[in-house]
């Protein structure tokens, strides 16, 4: 079937119905939703007003005041049920992600699997929100550190992981005793509405089982940047977790800081890989191909810069160019497709602009042209572009959210390492080598300056167990695993005197 003959409206309505979303909420609103697969308008959803947003923040704050009193392992029980509901909804929600964002089927399903994985992680975490007991210099005293719920957690998310980002934040925030309030991308309201409905199902079961969950524990705000700004400025939202472009973070970060709020910023990346003389080139080829072309280059961790040692350049790069020329592009729902569409015309225009700039800077471009335009004029499919560059210059130092891989030849390992770090962004990086010294140097103090540094796998994608995020213009935030939960709680240091005297610290005397 050609792209033009596809029709998603009825299927979307059926999926939403199964997930518990009333059909009426899919039409008559002011926000048009289009599938990047064929450009079809699949819904028109209602947007929230500024006044209702303010009221929703107040209601979320009230929910927090109650939820923080529920013991953490009991809060974990709600997230356990959410994980169960997500398992039941996986096929439907995964398919909806593919229709709304254009991801290939396995990646749509993979995104929902990430939601399930973080729920599992958070359930265990709900019994592990522990602090330290610290040695004190005063006799008959005890000093300890305790962790407490923080307040309403505001979540602002990007289009490319329309639901996983909510779950990374919400699963942790909720077991930590916070309520959450979510402003998804204006490009992906349907998956957000579906996710909220799945959450409500979990709450219903939790309450039916005797759990105490206040109303408005999780709130969804459908709207544009202006709605996000209201969240950002409201002191009743002590933590803003914002995922998106560096431009967005540059606006959000200072505004939150200005009111002494906290933020977790998860912003743009410009991720690199170094291919060393000893690299396993078959493995490297597969690692590079997935990291650079997967999700049509629309992952924050997508591989954008490749530094190839001169001794393997002429072996690896022609093989890569061949893979770029033969990879299957098209309807992401069809078996065998590896590259789906770009999200919209804006993304296509920015890609073409970057390719022009690369040519002007001496780049040799393979691919990058539009395909399937005759089948659906409002859908934007491109052949991924590989650009051999004489140096790291022009568009190479920027993030263009599209499948462009800049390839640069190097001689000395230290030069490649310096290039890896010599961009404003600091999200993800990797090295392909079988030389222990190079691998260890890459992950050492003098190595990659990114939040993620991998050996013999590409920079793209992440597992729930590790803390996720990056340095420099990527914003410095950490989400998901390890001890990322600490950002969602407030820490108190408590000193308790169980004796009958009052010794002061540092030997201070103050007898009255
Ligand atoms: P975007 O910056 O255009 O929008 C992201 C979200 O921020 C949207 O919900 C938008 O409405 C909101 N927003 C924008 N300006 C705002 C403001 N001033 N105040 C409040 N809210 C505001 O990003 P996008 O195009 O949806 O996503 C692509 C970008 O996201 C890429 O740069 C990508 O690297 C980045 N990203 C980063 C991560 C990460 O974890 N580091 C993950 C996914 C995507």
What ipTM goes with this model?
0.98
CA distance 404 to 387: 7
Pocket test for ligand 1, best of 158, 252, 294 (most atoms within 8 A of CB): 158
Look at the chain and count its residues.
512
Total Cβ atoms within 10 A of residue 279: 24
Instruction: From 63, 61, 57, select the one nearest 231 (Cα to Cα).
Output: 57
CA distance 105 to 503: 66
Nearest atom (ligand 1) to Cα of 187: 26
Measured in Å, how far apart are the chain's first and last C-alpha atoms?
Answer: 90
Query: How far from 24 is each of 44, 184, 235, 377, 382, CA to CA, in Å?
Result: 10, 20, 34, 29, 35
CA distance 32 to 122: 34
Task: For residue 372, give the DSSP letter.
Answer: S
Active centre residues (catalytic): 266
Question: Residue 282 contacts by C-beta under 8 Å, 6 or more apart in sequence?
Answer: none
Nearest atom (ligand 1) to Cα of 268: 34
Q: For residue 360, how far is its CA from the centre of ligand 1 (angstroms)?
A: 29
**165: number of CA atoms within 13 Å, CB side?**
32
Instruction: From 372, 241, 358, select the one nearest 296 (Cα to Cα).
Output: 372
CA distance 31 to 507: 66
**pLDDT of the residue at 4:** 82
Alpha helices per DSSP H over 179-244: 189-208, 225-233
Q: For residue 128, how far is its CA from the centre of ligand 1 (angstroms)?
A: 31
Task: For residue 504, give the DSSP letter.
Answer: P
**Residue at token pair 């992906």:** 188
Ligand 1 atom 40 nearest Cα? 266
Query: How far from 287 is each of 145, 291, 293, CA to CA, in Å?
Result: 43, 6, 10
- Token output for 375: 């089948």
Residues in contact with ligand 1 (CB, 6 Å cut-off): 156-161, 183, 185-186, 224-225, 228-229, 232, 243-245, 248, 251-252, 266-269, 300, 399, 401, 427, 474
Q: For residue 157, how far is its CA from the centre of ligand 1 (angstroms)?
A: 6
User: Helix count (H) and strand count (E) of the chain?
Assistant: 13, 23
Pocket test for ligand 1, best of 245, 429, 452 (most atoms within 8 A of CB): 245
Give the domains, in start order, of the chain with CATH numbers.
57-267+475-492 (3.40.605.10), 271-465 (3.40.309.10)
Instruction: From 263, 289, 265, 261, select the one nearest 275 (Cα to Cα).
Output: 289
CA distance 443 to 450: 10
Backbone φ/ψ region at 368: left (φ over 0), alpha (ψ -120 to 50), beta: left
Give the residues of the chain that fall short of pLDDT 70. 1
Q: What are phi and psi of 204, to 5 degrees?
A: -60, -45
Ligand 1 atom 19 nearest Cα? 229
Measured over the CA atoms of residue 176, residue 180, residue 186 and residue 192, the dihedral's sign is: positive
Ligand 1 atom 13 nearest Cα? 225
Nearest atom (ligand 1) to Cα of 266: 41
Q: For residue 374, how far is its CA from the centre of ligand 1 (angstroms)?
A: 31
């Amino acid at each position: 079937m050609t792209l033009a003959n596809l029709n998603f409206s009825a299927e979307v309505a059926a999926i939403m119905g199964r997930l518990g979303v009333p059909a009426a909420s899919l039409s008559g609103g002011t926000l048009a939703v289009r599938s990047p697969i064929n450009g079809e308008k699949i819904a028109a959803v209602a947007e929230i007003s500024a006044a209702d947003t303010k009221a929703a923040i107040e209601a979320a704050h009230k929910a927090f005041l109650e939820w923080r009193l529920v013991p953490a392992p009991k809060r974990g029980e709600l997230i356990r049920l959410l994980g169960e509901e997500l398992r039941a909804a996986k096929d439907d929600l995964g398919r909806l992600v593919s229709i709304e964002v254009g991801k290939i089927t396995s990646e749509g399903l993979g995104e929902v699997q990430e939601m399930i994985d973080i729920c599992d992680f958070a359930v265990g975490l709900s019994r592990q929100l522990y602090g330290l007991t610290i040695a004190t210099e005063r006799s008959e005293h005890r000093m300890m550190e305790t962790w407490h719920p923080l307040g309403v957690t505001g979540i602002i998310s990007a289009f490319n992981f329309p639901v996983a980002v909510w779950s990374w934040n919400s699963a942790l925030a909720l077991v930590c005793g916070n309520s959450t309030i979510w402003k998804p991308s204006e490009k992906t309201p349907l998956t957000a509405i579906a996710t909220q409905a799945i959450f409500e199902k979990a709450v219903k079961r939790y309450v039916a089982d005797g759990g105490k969950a206040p109303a408005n524990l999780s709130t969804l705000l459908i709207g544009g940047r202006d709605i996000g700004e209201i969240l950002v400025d409201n002191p009743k939202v002590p933590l803003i977790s914002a995922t998106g472009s560096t431009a967005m973070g540059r606006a959000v970060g200072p505004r939150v800081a200005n009111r002494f709020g906290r933020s977790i910023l998860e912003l743009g990346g410009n991720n690199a890989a170094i291919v060393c003389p000893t690299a396993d080139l078959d493995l490297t080829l597969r690692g590079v191909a997935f990291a650079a072309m997967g999700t049509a280059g629309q992952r924050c961790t997508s591989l954008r810069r490749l530094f190839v040692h001169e001794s393997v350049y002429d072996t690896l790069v022609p093989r890569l160019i061949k893979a770029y020329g033969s990879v299957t592009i098209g309807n992401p729902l069809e078996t065998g497709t590896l590259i789906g569409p770009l999200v919209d015309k804006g993304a296509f225009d920015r890609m073409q602009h970057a390719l022009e700039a690369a040519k002007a800077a001496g780049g040799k471009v393979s691919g990058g042209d539009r395909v399937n335009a005759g089948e659906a004029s409002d859908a934007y499919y491109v052949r991924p572009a590989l650009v051999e560059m004489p140096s790291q210059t022009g568009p190479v130092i920027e993030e263009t959210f599209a499948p462009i891989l800049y390839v640069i030849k190097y001689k000395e390992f230290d030069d490649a390492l310096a290039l890896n770090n010599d961009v404003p962004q600091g999200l993800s990086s990797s090295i392909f080598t079988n030389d222990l010294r190079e691998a260890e140097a890459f992950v050492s103090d003098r190595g990659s300056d990114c939040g993620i540094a991998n050996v013999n796998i590409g920079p793209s994608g992440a597992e729930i167990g590790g803390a996720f995020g990056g340095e420099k213009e990527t914003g410095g935030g950490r989400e998901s695993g390890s001890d990322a939960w600490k950002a969602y709680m407030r820490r108190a240091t408590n000193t308790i005197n169980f004796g009958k005297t009052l010794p002061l610290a540092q030997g201070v005397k103050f007898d009255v």
